[in-house]
Structure 1
Amino acid sequence: MSEVPVDITVIVGPGVVADPALLARIAGREFAALGVRGTLVHARDASHLLSLVRDGAVVIPGPEAEVRALIGRPLGAVVWVDTHRTDGVEPGEGASHLHGRGLSGLSWGIRHALHRLRHTPLRVPYGPSRDQWGDLYVPEGVPRPPVVALVHGGYWRSIWAADLMEALCADLAGRGFAVWNLEYRRPDTHGWHATTADVATGLATLHALRPRTPRSAPARDGHRDDDPGPDAGIGLDLDRVAVAGHSAGAQLALRAVADGARAALAVSLAGVLDLVEGERRWLGSGAVAAAMGGPAPGERPSGGADVHGAGSPLLRVPIGVSQLVVQGASDDLDLIDFGRRYAEAAGRAGDDVTYLELPGDHFDVITPTTSIWRAAAEAIAAALT
């Protein structure tokens, strides 16, 4: 079935520090790759920018106070993209805010805007924080579909969010899976224990859902906050659940399963599966130590059993659940090493483990058009059959 044509407008606010030709190239590349019509406009001032805003707009607001004041207004399904890290920004109702990803944030913003225009998941909060929710996708015409719960990565840093997994959500739903895309508080702003507790609670919330039949028309803000009340004809097969994480999200996913989260399959997509060596090797410029409260560079790794022992998937085997470990052959060499050693250790401990290493990089494992993701999706489907 062909997608409905979509127009996306990228608006660059006054005072944005970036080469205009480079911004145009980034936007044009994304428009072409996604097959959408798009335009890029430079706003003269706040009034001009406001006149350009519409649902699906992607806005780089820049530094001017009048423009930034618009972020909190209810202007519809706008995606605000700050190239700098800007914690604590509260976008208006229906809007999203991505930040801290540099100019590549524009690419992610365009992808996020397109996804919100084309898909309407059911958003279910599981706590009071703005980062405690899951988006539920239910495939059309599939009674009691199996479920894939997705935990995004980003080296446990809050500049990365659940939008990373949206392309997989659409792909998996198209394959007949229900999908639970989990957001959670990250340790750089809330602490390690908040993160692990959120993933556990978010996965438990999945098993309490009784989704209603999805509406055919997208909601204005790209998701629905319906009451996931009594079942209205579409249930989930909660005996067939795969918990899948990407990168740091794989560590969180496998740790949650080891802690007792209900799953028939645990999936690592380019996972950070050895926290002890990850800290010693200063993986991700010290991402492990930063997330877990570890040492400064050159100091002895904390390596405490309470933290690393509980959190590192390599130290938790066997977990007693079938596992699929997917690794791109051109990814970070340390991640390849972690994946291989984890699969060997889990198998030696008695777990049922499939190790899948194919050509691809760190993001190819979550890109629907790649051969490595297609192989992973087929393996997930086979395991949940």
Structure 2
Amino acid sequence: MQLPTPAAGTRLAYGPDSLQFGELRVPQGKGPFPVVVVIHGGCWLNQYNYQYMNHVSAALTQAGFATWTIEFRRVGDAGGGFPGTFLEVAKAVDYVRQLAKQYPVSAKEVVVMGHSAGGHLALWAAGRKDLPRTSALYTKNPLKVKGVVSLAGIPDLATYSTEKGSCNTAVEKLMGGLPAAVPQRYTEAIPSPALALKTPVRMVQGARDPIVPVSQAQNFVNHSSSRKNKAKLVLLPDAGHFDLVAPVSPVWATIEAAVKELLVKD
């Protein structure tokens, strides 16, 4: 079923470059509304942009959440790749503080959601507060988020870079080398599973995904046996890679429920 193109959100720049912008959608009503920062995938490459996530953003806004669907420079863009792609995602996430000054949205009730390569960036953005000041990816005072919803995310870049698939060869382009060549970059760019000791994480994964193996989500969730581990695997037996970003798919209710679980108070 082909959905009609949703109405565009309010396009706002978070930086001076033409690709440093996002689309803000706000539900009807007074607010302030909780915010879902939506990060698109596409193998970190500039052939793919944010627009395929607009249906997701529109559906979440219909469900009562403000959405901030971000664009950023990617591999193939001047300034994209390591560290630019990471720094721009960080800047766009932190820009929610500015949005809250002008729109009825809450900078204290924020979930970061990403699909595929965007899932990697969502997990990284939520956990970057632990980066050392010496890191090329360091940013001061990162926005604290309520949780992360990773839709077929790719947390383990090092392992993924050596496997077969569709996005795997893009990891080397993103990072400027394979793990053996630039190990420190991978240390800083791979989301730490320790994130889930403080922040709830939902690793939503289709069992029939041909692009991202289930092991990516499983290993992230199972990394810590601590009782404080707040990461959960949400395995969808009949779902593929793009079912997770299709509001008409049978699994959409599960994804919407994951967002509500992290943002809606009882």
* 8 Å Cα contact 2:151/2:244 also seen in 1: yes
Deviation string, structure 1 residues 288-335 (Cα, Å, up to 9, x no partner) = 11211124xxxxx4264421111112xx12112111110011102752
Asked if 1:318 corresponds to 2:194, the answer is yes
Pick from 216, 230, 233: which aligns with 1:355?
Answer: 233
Deviation at 1:373, TM superposition (A): 2.2
Q: Which runs of 5+ in 1 are unaligned?
A: 1-31, 35-110, 211-229, 296-300
| SS of aligned partner of 1:237 | strand
* 8 Å Cα contact 1:151/1:245 also seen in 2: yes
Question: Corresponding residue for 1:207?
Answer: 97
% identical equivalent positions = 29
Q: Alignment length, in residue pairs?
A: 245
Deviation string, structure 1 residues 77-97 (Cα, Å, up to 9, x no partner) = xxxxxxxxxxxxxxxxxxxxx
| SS of aligned partner of 2:254 | helix
Deviation at 1:142, TM superposition (A): 5.0
| SS of aligned partner of 2:22 | strand
Question: Corresponding residue for 2:176?
Answer: 293
Question: Corresponding residue for 1:90?
Answer: none
**Change beyond 3 A, Cα 1:270–1:245:** same
**Change beyond 3 A, Cα 1:303–1:336:** farther
Pick from 178, 191, 201: which aligns with 2:66?
Answer: 178
**Change beyond 3 A, Cα 1:318–1:350:** farther
Deviation at 1:277, TM superposition (A): 0.6
Looking at both structures, which has the greater relative contact order when contacts are Cα pairs under 8 Å and sequence separation is at least 6? 2
* 8 Å Cα contact 1:318/1:349 also seen in 2: no
* 8 Å Cα contact 1:168/1:367 also seen in 2: yes
Deviation at 1:152, TM superposition (A): 0.4
Question: Corresponding residue for 1:28?
Answer: none
Pick from 138, 149, 157: which aligns with 1:267?
Answer: 149
Q: What does 1:59-78 correspond to in 2, within 5 Å?
A: none
Distance 2:227 2:111 in 1: 21
Distance 1:331 1:350 in 2: 29
RMSD of aligned alpha carbons: 2.0
| SS of aligned partner of 2:98 | coil
Deviation string, structure 1 residues 140-178 (Cα, Å, up to 9, x no partner) = 125211110011000000011110210001100100000
Q: What does 1:135-214 correspond to in 2, within 5 Å?
A: 135-141=23-29, 143-189=31-77, 190-210=80-100
Q: What does 1:182-261 correspond to in 2, within 5 Å?
A: 182-189=70-77, 190-210=80-100, 231=102, 235-260=104-129, 261=143
Distance 1:337 1:138 in 2: 35
* 8 Å Cα contact 2:45/2:74 also seen in 1: yes
* 8 Å Cα contact 1:124/1:133 also seen in 2: yes
Question: Corresponding residue for 1:280?
Answer: 162
Q: What does 1:79-94 correspond to in 2, within 5 Å?
A: none
Question: Corresponding residue for 1:342?
Answer: 220
Letter in 2 for 1:165: M
Distance 1:269 1:171 in 2: 15
Distance 2:120 2:96 in 1: 19
* 8 Å Cα contact 1:347/1:353 also seen in 2: no
Q: Which runs of 5+ in 2 are unaligned?
A: 130-142
Letter in 2 for 1:188: G
Pick from 120, 123, 127: which aligns with 2:15?
Answer: 127
Letter in 1 for 2:76: D
Distance 2:262 2:145 in 1: 11
Distance 1:347 1:183 in 2: 35
**Change beyond 3 A, Cα 1:334–1:145:** closer
**Change beyond 3 A, Cα 1:354–1:278:** same
Distance 2:251 2:183 in 1: 35
Distance 1:154 1:193 in 2: 18
Letter in 2 for 1:362: H
**Change beyond 3 A, Cα 1:174–1:194:** same
Distance 2:206 2:164 in 1: 21
Deviation at 1:346, TM superposition (A): 4.6
* 8 Å Cα contact 1:132/1:183 also seen in 2: yes
| SS of aligned partner of 1:351 | coil
Distance 1:376 1:309 in 2: 29
* 8 Å Cα contact 1:139/1:176 also seen in 2: yes
| SS of aligned partner of 1:259 | helix
